[in-house]
Amino acid sequence: MKTALTFFLLISSIIVTAQNNISEYLLKNGSAGANTYAIIIANEDYQSAASSYVGNDERAIFQAERFQQMLIKTLGIPSGNILFYPDALNTSIKLAIARLQKIIPENSNFIFYYRGKTFTDSGSGKLYLVPVDVSDNETFYMFGLEDLLKRLSNINKNGITVLIDSSPGESSGSSCIMDNRFEVENISSADGKYASLIRLKSLPAVSVTADPIISEKPELIITDPSIKGRQTAESSIVITGKVRSDCPVEIISVNGQEAPSLNDGSFLARIPLNSGDNNIVIEAKNCAGWTKCLIVVTRLALPSDNKIVSDSLNFLKEGKITESGRNFAVIIGVSKYLDAKMPDLYYPVFDARKVRNVLIENYTFDQRDVFLLINPVKEEITGKLDSLNNVIKSVDNLLVFYAGHGSWDEKNSMGYWLPSDALAKAVDSWIMNSIITGYAGKCNARHTLIIADACFAGGIFRTRAFITEEDKTIPELYFKTSKKAMTSGDLTEVPDESVFVKNFILSLSENKEKYLPSEQLFFGIKPKVLSNNIIPQFGILKNAGDQGGDFIFFRKPDRAEEIKK
């Protein structure tokens, strides 16, 4: 049976300044790592449970969440070791302690954090925590500090730290824990156990810097469409916005799929629309948690599918389909690098020229619409893609081919293309895959196909697997929008002399089919490329507006066919 604790003041009012902030104090006290457990109480909404209250503690839950992130990020306490209770009743606090008693191992450290109203009895001087369902002066139903400490003494522990993050009657929303200003009272007992009672309250002005790890949830700003929603007759819509965050943004998603984003937090996603109301959920996550936004976009009427049906029947009957629109291509080959630390490559420029030639000579690409960029700098690549966005129409198609160095950032799960002016140690001079997929998303082209022959090129996909589409006729594939990519490998290095590009060019050169879907082209190449753990990839560019179509290579008729005509 545990000895009942009798608490007495051992050391009074040790003022801890900015040089010894809360996280440093807890680390010195041994309250860190997997052997530490915590209960966090955040009492904010008093008026809903007890109308006699004048006001709430408006930012209690927010401040408690910041404290929770400090425990996880700075002290390394597993999130599963932390019990978080917003707007706790008297019984909720007692049950939280009882629950922890069942799961905490022996000789663990324990932290109890309380943010909310407190009450000090003028007669006895005793301090009480105020649950949300108790009126200001009903001390009988409040949770006394003395009672709290006795209950905590029954938990197996090396030591207890109790943090009271409020002043009596405070409801201003400020938090001295984030200002690094507090007082410590070390309390001991007869059995040698101890507790540190930290009263977080304002002290004389101190110049401080807040712990940079403690962050707010991301701010999500939708620039288009309006958060009030939109009505449109289009088959898809581009969602654009920006995320502001004081710690790295882990993910931005639209309808459950990661959206292409830039370093400044801006993002876009093209979303297919069904007839009627479409719920579009935009979410962003950083170290402090998730922020969510819902937009409803109403598609007024779906265009008739009669044309697709008619063309499909005609194709099955006569074996032909009429091509509409122009085929644009941006062919990029980078062999020479300006930075001496970046090794030059031999084959990319030669491969780029061959790709250009086979498209113009064998397929319906007009040479005026095919742009060959030899050893371009970053600005040339992004500039060309930008300028084409102003030219390409919804009936046109775009193919982008890249051969050169690639890189993969494992920590941030981000892939890059390296233009000729890329610096070995300056990531800002590289081109993020998200920029390329962003162009695909905002481009008006009916079909966009990205082909990348570079190390770690598979990083352009937001998912690793590709599910083969159900069988569709050529008209169905052609008239439905597609945003797809194929790469020479996954997240691995690939050789300078590309087996993938060699077979890509060979397959296009030898093809005799009038209509060659890119998926069919890829799966014809794949068995010839598989070697040395190099696995080519083909898939959908997520949140770029793919609607199940495919890029179709329309082969030019050879001379014999033209003579017959």
The answer on pLDDT for 464 being more than 90 is no
Residue 252 pLDDT level (bands cut at 50, 70, 90): confident
Q: What is the pLDDT of residue 350?
A: 92
For range 339-353, the mean pLDDT: 89
- Sign, CA dihedral 97-99-101-104, equals negative
3-state secondary structure labels for all residues of 63-118: HHHHHHHHHHHCCCCCHHHEEEEECCCHHHHHHHHHHHHHHCCCCCEEEEEEECCE
Between 199 and 462, residue with greater pLDDT: 199
The answer on pLDDT for 327 being more than 90 is yes
Is residue 242 in a domain?
A: yes
Is residue 207 in a domain?
A: no
Residue 457 pLDDT level (bands cut at 50, 70, 90): very low
Is residue 259 in a domain?
A: yes
Closest among 238, 60, 17 to 166, alpha carbons compared: 60
Tell me, yes or no, whether 527 and 436 share the same domain.
yes
Radius of gyration of the chain (CA): 32
The answer on pLDDT for 328 being more than 50 is yes
Q: What is the pLDDT of residue 12?
A: 25
Q: Of 15-19, 129-133, 212-216, 360-364, which has the strongest mean pLDDT?
A: 360-364
Instruction: Give the largest Cα separation in the chain, rounded.
Output: 110
Tell me, yes or no, whether 447 and 356 share the same domain.
yes
Q: What is the pLDDT of residue 415?
A: 77
Q: What is the pLDDT of residue 413?
A: 59
CATH number at residue 234: 2.60.40.10
For range 526-551, the mean pLDDT: 79
What domain count does the chain have? 3
Strands 257-258, 397-403: pairing kind = unpaired
The answer on pLDDT for 25 being more than 70 is yes
Q: What is the pLDDT of residue 449?
A: 94
Least confident of 160-169, 309-318, 454-463: 454-463
Tell me, yes or no, whether 158 and 290 share the same domain.
no
Tell me, yes or no, whether 136 and 284 share the same domain.
no
Q: What is the pLDDT of residue 471?
A: 64
Pick from 199, 233, 255: which residue ends a domain?
A: 199
Least confident of 62-76, 188-202, 286-300: 188-202
Between 533 and 474, residue with greater pLDDT: 474
For range 384-409, the mean pLDDT: 88
Is residue 482 in a domain?
A: yes
Between 503 and 176, residue with greater pLDDT: 503
CA angle 46, 47, 48 (to 5 degrees): 95
DSSP state of 428: G
Q: What is the pLDDT of residue 310?
A: 55
Tell me, yes or no, whether 187 and 225 share the same domain.
no
Tell me, yes or no, whether 156 and 262 share the same domain.
no
Tens of pLDDT, residues 214-249: 567 888 888 888 767 788 877 788 888 889 888 888
Tell me, yes or no, whether 260 and 334 share the same domain.
no
Q: How far apart are CA 265 and CA 268, in angstroms?
A: 10
Tens of pLDDT, residues 64-106: 888 888 898 888 999 888 888 888 877 777 777 877 777 788 7
Q: What is the pLDDT of residue 156?
A: 61
The answer on pLDDT for 530 being more than 60 is yes
Q: Are 291 and 218 in contact (CB under 8 A)?
A: yes
Mean pLDDT of the chain: 75
Tell me, yes or no, whether 379 and 249 share the same domain.
no
Q: What is the pLDDT of residue 224?
A: 83
Expressed as residue numbers, the domain containing 376 is 319-560
Is residue 408 in a domain?
A: yes
The answer on pLDDT for 374 being more than 90 is yes
For range 387-391, the mean pLDDT: 88
Is residue 506 in a domain?
A: yes
Closest among 344, 333, 460 to 404, alpha carbons compared: 333
The answer on pLDDT for 209 being more than 60 is no
Tell me, yes or no, whether 404 and 552 share the same domain.
yes
Q: What is the pLDDT of residue 540?
A: 83
Q: What is the pLDDT of residue 490?
A: 55
For range 162-187, the mean pLDDT: 49
CATH number at residue 416: 3.40.50.1460
Q: How far apart are CA 214 and CA 247, in angstroms?
A: 8
Tell me, yes or no, whether 283 and 327 share the same domain.
no
Residue 49 pLDDT level (bands cut at 50, 70, 90): low
Sequence-distant (≥ 6) Cβ neighbours of residue 25 within 8 angstroms: 16, 184, 198
Pick from 164, 199, 234: which residue ends a domain?
A: 199
Residue 375 pLDDT level (bands cut at 50, 70, 90): very high
Q: Are 152 and 195 in contact (CB under 8 A)?
A: yes
For range 167-179, the mean pLDDT: 39
Is residue 312 in a domain?
A: no
Q: State residue 454 phi and psi, 5-degree precision.
A: -160, 160
Q: How far apart are CA 438 and CA 449, in angstroms?
A: 13
The answer on pLDDT for 275 being more than 90 is no
Least confident of 382-391, 438-447, 471-480: 471-480
Residue 4 pLDDT level (bands cut at 50, 70, 90): very low
Least confident of 136-140, 144-148, 328-332: 136-140
Which amino acid, 2? K
For the beta sheet containing 431-432, the strands, ordered from the edge strand earlier in sequence to the opposite edge, are 406-409, 414-417, 431-432
Pick from 170, 199, 228: which residue ends a domain?
A: 199
CB burial of residue 122 (10 Å; 0-12, 13-18, 19+) = exposed
Least confident of 136-145, 454-463, 512-521: 454-463
Is residue 306 in a domain?
A: no
Between 217 and 332, residue with greater pLDDT: 332
Tell me, yes or no, whether 459 and 331 share the same domain.
yes
The answer on pLDDT for 419 being more than 90 is yes
Separation of CA 399 from chain center: 27
For range 267-281, the mean pLDDT: 85
Q: Report which secondary-structure segment, H or E, holds 21.
A: none
Token output for 21: 């902030």
Q: How far apart are CA 167 and CA 145, in angstroms?
A: 14
For range 424-432, the mean pLDDT: 85
The answer on pLDDT for 13 being more than 60 is no
Residue 201 pLDDT level (bands cut at 50, 70, 90): very low
N- to C-terminal Cα distance for the chain? 101
Tell me, yes or no, whether 17 and 110 share the same domain.
yes
Closest among 233, 218, 400, 213 to 303, alpha carbons compared: 233
Q: What is the pLDDT of residue 254?
A: 86
